[in-house]
Amino acid sequence: MSFMPRCSNSMTKMARRLRTDPTEAERALWRLLRGEAFAGWKFRRQHPVERYVLDFACASEKLAIEADGGQHCDSGHDEERDALLSAAGWRVLRFWNNHILGNAEGVAGIILGALQQSPPLPRLHQGRALLIGVGHPFRHDDAVGPLVAEAVAKLNLPDLSVLDHHGEGTDLMARWQGYDRVVLVDASCSGAVPGTVTAWDVAKQDLPAGMLPKGSHVFGVAEGIAMARLLGRLPKSFTVVAIEGRDFTAGLGLTPEVEAAVEWVMAQLTAP
Residue 77 lies in a domain: yes
Residue 110 lies in a domain: no
Whether 140 and 245 have beta carbons less than 8 Å apart is answered as: yes
Residue 115 lies in a domain: no
Q: Using the predicted structure, report yes or no on whether residue 1 has a pLDDT greater than 50.
A: no
Whether 215 and 137 have beta carbons less than 8 Å apart is answered as: no
Q: If you count DSSP H runs as helices and E runs as strands, how many of each does the chain have, helices first?
A: 9, 9
CA–CA dist 4, 85 (Å, integer)? 8
Asked if residue 138 and residue 89 are part of one domain, the reply reads: no
Boundary-marking domain end, from 102, 118, 143: 102
What is the structure's pLDDT at 67?
Answer: 87
Asked if residue 134 and residue 33 are part of one domain, the reply reads: no
What is the structure's pLDDT at 182?
Answer: 97
Which is higher by pLDDT, 69 or 148? Answer: 148
CA–CA dist 51, 4 (Å, integer)? 10
Confidence of residue 120 (pLDDT cuts 50, 70, 90): confident
What is the structure's pLDDT at 105?
Answer: 78
Q: Which residues contact 40 (CB under 8 A, 6 or more apart)?
A: none
DSSP 77-146: HHHHHHHHHHHTT-EEEEEEHHHHHH-HHHHHHHHHHHHH-SSPPPPTTSSSEEEEEES-TTBGGGGHHH
Asked if residue 135 and residue 68 are part of one domain, the reply reads: no
What is the structure's pLDDT at 204?
Answer: 83
Residue 4 lies in a domain: no
Q: How many CB atoms lie within 10 A of CB 266?
A: 16
* Residue 190: domain span: 129-269
Whether 149 and 164 have beta carbons less than 8 Å apart is answered as: yes
Asked if residue 139 and residue 264 are part of one domain, the reply reads: yes
What is the structure's pLDDT at 184?
Answer: 97
Q: Report the CATH number at residue 263.
A: 3.40.50.1450
Residue 1 lies in a domain: no
Asked if residue 134 and residue 96 are part of one domain, the reply reads: no
Q: Report the CATH number at residue 48.
A: 3.40.960.10
Half-sphere exposure of 3 (CA within 13 A, CB side): 4
Residue 189 lies in a domain: yes
Residue 2 lies in a domain: no
What is the structure's pLDDT at 11?
Answer: 47
Mean pLDDT of the chain: 83
Q: Using the predicted structure, report yes or no on whether residue 53 has a pLDDT greater than 60.
A: yes
Asked if residue 217 and residue 136 are part of one domain, the reply reads: yes
Asked if residue 93 and residue 135 are part of one domain, the reply reads: no
End-to-end CA gap in the chain = 21
Asked if residue 135 and residue 38 are part of one domain, the reply reads: no
Boundary-marking domain end, from 86, 102, 118: 102
Confidence of residue 2 (pLDDT cuts 50, 70, 90): very low
Q: How many CB atoms lie within 10 A of CB 244?
A: 25
What is the structure's pLDDT at 175?
Answer: 96
Q: 87 burial class (0-12, 13-18, 19+ CB within 10 angstroms)?
A: exposed
Q: 256 burial class (0-12, 13-18, 19+ CB within 10 angstroms)?
A: middle
CA-based radius of gyration for the chain: 20
**Residue pLDDT, tens place only, 43-52:** 999 888 877 8
Confidence of residue 249 (pLDDT cuts 50, 70, 90): very high
Asked if residue 85 and residue 151 are part of one domain, the reply reads: no
DSSP state of 251: B
What is the structure's pLDDT at 131?
Answer: 98
What is the structure's pLDDT at 107?
Answer: 82
Asked if residue 265 and residue 181 are part of one domain, the reply reads: yes
Q: Using the predicted structure, report yes or no on whether residue 188 has a pLDDT greater than 60.
A: yes
> In one letter, which amino acid is 77?
H
Q: Using the predicted structure, report yes or no on whether residue 236 has a pLDDT greater than 70.
A: yes
Boundary-marking domain end, from 85, 102, 119: 102
Asked if residue 235 and residue 149 are part of one domain, the reply reads: yes
Q: How many domains, in total, are found in the chain?
A: 2
Whether 124 and 157 have beta carbons less than 8 Å apart is answered as: yes
Residue 112 lies in a domain: no
Q: Using the predicted structure, report yes or no on whether residue 5 has a pLDDT greater than 70.
A: no
Asked if residue 21 and residue 94 are part of one domain, the reply reads: yes
Whether 239 and 201 have beta carbons less than 8 Å apart is answered as: yes
Q: Which residues contact 18 (CB under 8 A, 6 or more apart)?
A: 46, 53
